[in-house]
Structure 1
Amino acid sequence: MHSAPTALAPDWLAVPDDPDDLAAGVWPASAHRDADGALVIGGVPVGDLVRSHGTPLLVLDEGEVRRRAAALRDAFETAATAHGTSARIYYAGKAFLSTAVARWMVEEGLNVDVCTGGELQVALAASVDPAHIGFHGNNKSAAELESAVEVGVGTIIIDSSIEIERLAAITARTGTVQRVMLRVNSGVHAETHDFLATAHEDQKFGTPLADAAAMVARIRELSGLEFVGLHCHIGSQIFGVAGFRESASRVLDLHAELLEGGPVPQLNLGGGFGIAYTRADDPAPVAELAEGIVAAVAEGCAARGIDLPLLSFEPGRAIIGNAGVTLYEIGTIKDVVLENGSRRYLSVDGGMSDNARPALYGAQFSARLASRESDGEPVLSRVVGKHCESGDIVVDHEYLPADAAPGDLLAVPATGAYCAPLSSNYNHVPRPPIVAVRDGAARVIVRGETVADLLSRDVGITEPDSDALHPQTSEGER
């Protein structure tokens, strides 16, 4: 095998000059190699992390999370102020939520967005002020709505007519008034995977623009509901401003119409800001994105002769995605020679149970040797997991050193968002621990599972012998 380009490689994947380099923007800013060539994240060598916690292991750079949260907050607040309004940032907890992360968001001046009762409980356990929580979801149960009203959630985003009546019954019974927004579909199909595009008409979220005025009228009839604005989310992993600009224009037509019947103080344009998973990805800088979106709303309001509302946004991936790095150990290696080229398969000790995104969306990731540097020539490789599925792919296309070997540590960057939340126990594989690093210190923020944890849920086993079961995490994680 050799480093010459092959027909099996996609056009966007270039043969690297240095298969050990760490592409800026893909990895946490703190990531670098030490004098021995080993990867260091947040001031902590990955070898130390693996010795303490085993592999697979999700490492979250706390400093990177905080830096990105503050940058988004500052960018949108600056852009909003320049146009005569204000902006609020809600961290989209669905990207990854734990009590530690929720606290980081509050400390950086962000609100928190949740979409299930479970996520709400995590935020509350982190002592997030309920008034600074937004609650999404296309099928919020009566119990979830009751809980949200009881604790004083700041805003509930209504997703259907049924939810209006369900929530109205709760507020009537409890004698409360609940602030609500209405989620609408602008009809703008974001340039992303179909499963990530959330504002076109043929999908489960929100209500068509044509039906929204009647729904808002019904909300305004109910004394227990306070209508505070419209919400629209066009999708995820979006790099530019064009989709937001078009969506805002359509939603502002409805916004202007609704002003005739009462105040519409807020407009939430969602999130979905893209990040770099590979060197080929080129997301817009945060300041450019913020100015472009806010300017589009300001221009739209001016054209319609209406005041610019308070703006809110819900980034998740853009805050936490590039802060995460997953560490694996290489187990087996196979070379596959085909008519149009050759590819090397490197199997690691995790897979689709800790990163389902390649299987779900065909998502592309990067990878680098983490335990050492190499002078081996770059070879087209595919990183695959240990699960009994041919689609168990962690990194579909990457050039890795030819001398990569069993026992080497492999690092996959940009795994901070939608990896842990989508994780599973497929094939009875325990979910890995999550460790936060910052300024040379590491701490577990989510405990790793063991096989004993999984068997404890099986009612056919009375007392599983944890000592007799081989755990997937170290002694210190039990």
Structure 2
Amino acid sequence: MTATSPLTPAWLPAPDDVDALDPAIWAAGVARTDAGELAVQGVPASALAAEFGTPLIVLDEDDFRARARAFREGFDTAFASLCGGADVYFAGKSMLTLSTARWAAEEGLRVDTASGGELAIALRAGVDPAHIGLHGNNKSEAELLAALDAGVGRIIVDSVDELEHLAALAAEHGHIAPVMLRLTPGVHAHTHDFIATAHEDQKFGLSLAPSAQDADGNVAGRAPAAVAVALALASESVHLLGVHCHIGSQIFEADGFGLAAARVLEFLDHARAEHGVELAELDLGGGHGIAYTAADEPRPAAEIAAALADDVQKTVERLGMDCPRISLEPGRAISGPAGLTLYTVGVTKTVDVDAPGGGTAPRRYVAVDGGMSDNPRPVLYDADYTAALASRTSEAEPVLSRVVGKHCESGDILVRDVHLPADVRRGDLLAVPATGAYTHVMASNYNALTRPAVVAVRGGSARVIVRRETMDDLFAREADPAPGRPADQTPTPQESA
């Protein structure tokens, strides 16, 4: 099997050098040593695997920090003349640990959380509560109270129902709730078309479109977003800061963000005319794409910021309004490229499969010691990744390969298509880049696998920031079904029956 396999997808180029590392995909601190081994900030993959085991999520701390600074500085510069700068919230759902929350805060970012657990992590990390936001389409009363008691800077409200509940809760407990209203701007993340109906079919946000019915079932109700503004302004226990929108994730094109900003600014202008108030803040969300494979072409943070600032300026000038304070929430674009996952190769095999146009072609499978439990994105979203031989270089020909996990699932695929050296064998280390986002935070114990450790590397030194789970951890939440039985004694089949 060669790089010219008929199974090769059109987007996957044949490599000139199978050992080369594309800088658009890998963290800045990743390079090969003189001996050919992949290293992170000078620490070889073999040393990381020997000390911390595999699978292992490795974060280049300097890369994470540099990307955080790039967004902060890029948006501050781009929006300085419009609204005095911009506030960047690290979208914690991408990779929230005590360490990453502190890194973000130390680099001048705020932290966006999406649950009570994420809020607790940010608070324990020492993030200023005034610099924390709480998201979620169905926040519990406990989560809302935790946010109010902590004094978070913003609670992003997702519905009229939640706004009424939060207002009552805040009044009951003597708080003033700082509220951002999440709007649905009707912009499709990929085509950027304004969709007046179909795109409203989602669980997030307050629609800008008039409702077909009001709360009592009467036809021709007001737009939920307009209703929410009126309710928030009328409530003595709510401080309406502004509005928020988010059009999707892993977006490379610039125009969708500009279209969404224009539509939400127009809504703010209508609110100004109706209520005589200028809302002070506008959060334009996140979703900025990163390179997972050679087919992806992400834009630098400064370029994203400049394009968006230009769109916002044109709209506020057209409307004759002051520009609200802008904020945004990059998560994946900061943490994703900073991470990689190390795996140890086990079984390799080649099978014949049906080829396009007829006949068969060989496909090589490379199985590793992790899988969908440490990175579910390929299974959930058909997400593509790449991989590289990490423990050595090779002079063998490149072979189209599929990297799979060890789970009892045929769909347990980590890298669907990648060219790897033909001599990849048991005991080799593979590295999958761009796994700093939505891996650790989405990991599970499926098939009772323990979740990997997370290691940060900086200045030639590696340290654990999240320890590897143990077998004891798997039993920590179990209730013993036979309280009198010794912990190490399992029932016989007859006893079980």
TM range (shorter): over 0.9
TM-aligned CA deviation for residue 452 of structure 1 = 2.2
Runs of at least 4 residues off by over 6 Å:
none
Alignment of 1:351-370 (within 5 A): 351-370=371-390
TM-aligned CA deviation for residue 337 of structure 1 = 1.8
TM-aligned CA deviation for residue 465 of structure 1 = 5.5
TM-aligned CA deviation for residue 252 of structure 1 = 1.4
Alignment of 1:16-95 (within 5 A): 16-95=15-94
Q: Does 1:294 align with 2:293?
A: no
Task: Sort the Cα spacing of 1:44 and 1:168 in 2 relative to 1 into closer, same or farther, 3 A.
Answer: same
Work out the CA distance in 2 between the residues paired with 1:303 and 1:10.
46
1:409-460 residue CA offsets vs partner (Å, 9 max, x unmatched):
0000000000111110000000000000011011100011112210232223
Paired residue for 1:304? 319
Task: Sort the Cα spacing of 1:382 and 1:116 in 2 relative to 1 into closer, same or farther, 3 A.
Answer: same
TM-aligned CA deviation for residue 2 of structure 1 = 2.4
Work out the CA distance in 1 between the residues paired with 2:337 and 2:442.
17
**Which residue of 192, 208, 232 corresponds with 2:245?**
232
CA contact (8 A) 1:358 1:364 kept: yes
1:260-299 residue CA offsets vs partner (Å, 9 max, x unmatched):
2112111100000000001121012211111111111111
Deviates more, 1:447-456 or 1:85-94: 447-456
**Which residue of 407, 415, 424 corresponds with 1:387?**
407
Task: Sort the Cα spacing of 1:464 and 1:75 in 2 relative to 1 into closer, same or farther, 3 A.
Answer: farther
1:99-124 residue CA offsets vs partner (Å, 9 max, x unmatched):
11111011000000001000000001
Deviates more, 1:279-288 or 1:18-27: 279-288
Paired residue for 2:456? 436
Deviates more, 1:163-172 or 1:381-390: 163-172
Deviates more, 1:172-181 or 1:429-438: 172-181
**Which residue of 281, 285, 295 corresponds with 1:270?**
285
Q: Does 1:165 align with 2:132?
A: no
Q: Does 1:123 align with 2:143?
A: no
Q: How many residue pairs were aligned?
A: 459
TM-aligned CA deviation for residue 251 of structure 1 = 1.1
Paired residue for 2:447? 427
Work out the CA distance in 1 between the residues paired with 2:24 and 2:125.
29
Q: Secondary structure at the match of 1:2?
A: coil
- 1:173 is aligned with what amino acid? E
TM-aligned CA deviation for residue 85 of structure 1 = 3.4
- 2:304 is aligned with what amino acid? L
- 1:433 is aligned with what amino acid? A
Q: Does 1:313 align with 2:333?
A: no
Paired residue for 1:215? 228
- 1:155 is aligned with what amino acid? R
- 2:285 is aligned with what amino acid? G
Paired residue for 1:181? 180
1:168-207 residue CA offsets vs partner (Å, 9 max, x unmatched):
1122122221210100101111019xxxxxx931110111
CA contact (8 A) 2:364 2:400 kept: yes
TM-aligned CA deviation for residue 143 of structure 1 = 0.9
Deviates more, 1:162-171 or 1:31-40: 162-171
Q: Secondary structure at the match of 1:249?
A: helix
- 2:450 is aligned with what amino acid? P
Work out the CA distance in 1 between the residues paired with 2:294 and 2:472.
40
CA contact (8 A) 1:355 1:420 kept: yes
Task: Sort the Cα spacing of 1:138 and 1:339 in 2 relative to 1 into closer, same or farther, 3 A.
Answer: closer
- 1:6 is aligned with what amino acid? S
Paired residue for 1:325? 340
CA contact (8 A) 1:452 1:465 kept: no
CA contact (8 A) 2:83 2:324 kept: no
Alignment of 1:462-473 (within 5 A): 464=487
Work out the CA distance in 1 between the residues paired with 2:402 and 2:321.
54
1:388-424 residue CA offsets vs partner (Å, 9 max, x unmatched):
1111000001000001001000000000000111110
Paired residue for 2:213? none
TM-aligned CA deviation for residue 83 of structure 1 = 3.4
Work out the CA distance in 2 between the residues paired with 1:141 and 1:404.
49
CA contact (8 A) 2:160 2:227 kept: no
- 2:380 is aligned with what amino acid? L
1:125-148 residue CA offsets vs partner (Å, 9 max, x unmatched):
001110000110000011110110
Paired residue for 1:470? none
Work out the CA distance in 2 between the residues paired with 1:348 and 1:460.
33
TM-aligned CA deviation for residue 84 of structure 1 = 4.7
- 1:273 is aligned with what amino acid? H
CA contact (8 A) 2:268 2:278 kept: no
What residue ranges of structure 1 are gaps of 5+ in the alignment? 193-198, 467-478
Q: Secondary structure at the match of 2:310?
A: helix
Work out the CA distance in 1 between the residues paired with 2:140 and 2:238.
17
TM-aligned CA deviation for residue 34 of structure 1 = 0.7
Work out the CA distance in 2 between the residues paired with 1:453 and 1:63.
31
Q: Secondary structure at the match of 2:432?
A: strand
Paired residue for 1:195? none
RMSD of aligned residue pairs (Cα, Å): 1.4
Work out the CA distance in 2 between the residues paired with 1:127 and 1:465.
41
Q: Does 1:257 align with 2:277?
A: no
Work out the CA distance in 2 between the residues paired with 1:16 and 1:82.
45
Q: Secondary structure at the match of 1:17?
A: coil
1:35-78 residue CA offsets vs partner (Å, 9 max, x unmatched):
11111102211111111111100001100000000001000000
TM-aligned CA deviation for residue 246 of structure 1 = 1.2
Q: Does 1:377 align with 2:392?
A: no
Paired residue for 2:2? 2
Task: Sort the Cα spacing of 1:223 and 1:353 in 2 relative to 1 into closer, same or farther, 3 A.
Answer: same
Work out the CA distance in 1 between the residues paired with 2:144 and 2:165.
8
CA contact (8 A) 1:43 1:438 kept: no
Task: Sort the Cα spacing of 1:161 and 1:72 in 2 relative to 1 into closer, same or farther, 3 A.
Answer: same
CA contact (8 A) 2:403 2:416 kept: yes
TM-aligned CA deviation for residue 464 of structure 1 = 4.8
- Structure having the higher Rg: 2
